[in-house]
Structure 1
Amino acid sequence: MQLAQDTDLDGYLIAPDPAAARLTRPVQGHDQTGAPVDLSVVEERPLTIFLNAQEIVTAMTIGDYPDYLALGFLRNQGMLTADDEITGVDYDEELDTIVVRTARTTNHEDKLKKKTRTSGCAVGTVFGDMMEGLDDVRLPPTPVRTSWLYALAARINRTPSLYLQAGAIHGTVLCQGDQPLVYMEDVGRHNAVDKIAGWMMANDVTADDKILYTTGRLTSEMVIKTAMMGIPVLASRSGFTAWGVEIAQQVGLTLIGRMRGQRFVCLSGETRLIRDIDPATVPDEGRKSGRKGART
């Protein structure tokens, strides 16, 4: 299989492509007055991921970047290591399967028996010993300028996306400073994060100077995946869960949520924020901006 090709669009290395084939489907319906309406709705389809000869999981996904999704999922679950030699990534579109092959022999029968149902959309699944792997994680104390956060939020929220076209989807963006680099979308925010992880793994991208922006809640799963990827900053328009905050404080993750207009809340890593801009100079969103609450 040919790996997904990156494109340069407005400074992004990968940006959403709302017009891409197979990601949405036209559907006819009626509005509250009974008038006919035409809508584009997001497609979702199963993708079964194999590691060598072993079936690992079937994920519901929009179907783009299956290579990055598979690599990132396996990496975030600890089934692939940073020094693993990937000998092949084979995607069969007709069978909705993808096989990641490694030079070493793998067997995760015991790990597959330990699954934790997560709070993520589209039936997110995390394997139990991921939490054990956090014991040795300590993220670098990377400083974060508040001017970067405001610039990223404004840029990302204006980027053409499947969410703006069809809704019912989550986005995750890998950023560096005030520049968004890779913007992935999927029906589950965990899938979008895994695509980012897969892209980083495939391209040997370092994590210690990166920021991860997500449109969804800052749950334990999101914090764990960000920490395991080595990214020191996680930000969102949405809110927090208590366990997510606790884990962020444990591993030294800067955790910022409720980013809307001039406002945000930092619940972990406050000492790393460099407040280099007056919030009063940032345009406020106002109560009617965006599609409030749709992505939580």
Structure 2
Amino acid sequence: MTSTVIATHDRFPSNTAAVLSRLRATLDSSTIDRSTAGIGRATPLRAGELLLRLQPGMRVPSPSSSPLFDVAGVVAETALDAGGFAVGDRVFGVARDPHWRDDVGYVLTTVGHVAKLRRTLAPVQAATLASSATTAWRMLFRRGRLEPGEIVTVIAARSPVGALALQLARAHDVQAIAVSPSDGNHRWRALGAHRVADIRTDALESACRVAAVVVDTVGGFIQRRALSAMQEGGVLLSCASRPDMSRAPPGASAEFVETRVTSRDLARIADLIDVGRLVPALDD
């Protein structure tokens, strides 16, 4: 992800239908009326909805590319049931229905899909963390249930989810093995990797064999190699594709983890941002 554009998460579009289905009960399905006075609302916000104002110059994906996208902004308007949010709060999460008025962007979201952002962090940087960081969090701790001292192997560390998974592991005293081309050793260790395994060699299999959890962000042939190397009790969690369990050794398991951005997980991410233990992994 770049540091100049609010970008959707790599895997987010593939899960849009499922996420949108969960949001339909709380998100207005109509777009914001562009011709209305003020900031463009034709009707009052529904319970639980928030209208966010983007920073000048920030962009969002076109409606045709993805109806939901990562975002950071300032609360411009709240409904009666605002869930503790107030006008002026800095937040990040996911939103929809982009609207522009006088070169200022507005988006619609709900209290269940954003969290307050307290630490000074550029809005675009914060936006890149929402779906990637919550996906990494779910894989390590909600689905993987990792405990301090256990080992997680992250494939591939150079992906947004992978780089954030390394930081989350370090923040919770989980030992991480980064699987990536070896020319990035210094970077992965700086993010929290205890060891780096070259994805182009059989070190990939060795790294998966000793892990309690394998985080897969690649899928395909690499995923099949990783799954076949798992030991009894090992778990492979993928945000790239659904694992073929016919390739899993006896006693190993695997599952596909969908992107689900919730305020509860975002709040945990915000806490780590506040203390400087989680930051966007910038491109080399």
Normalising by structure 2, we get a TM-score of 0.29
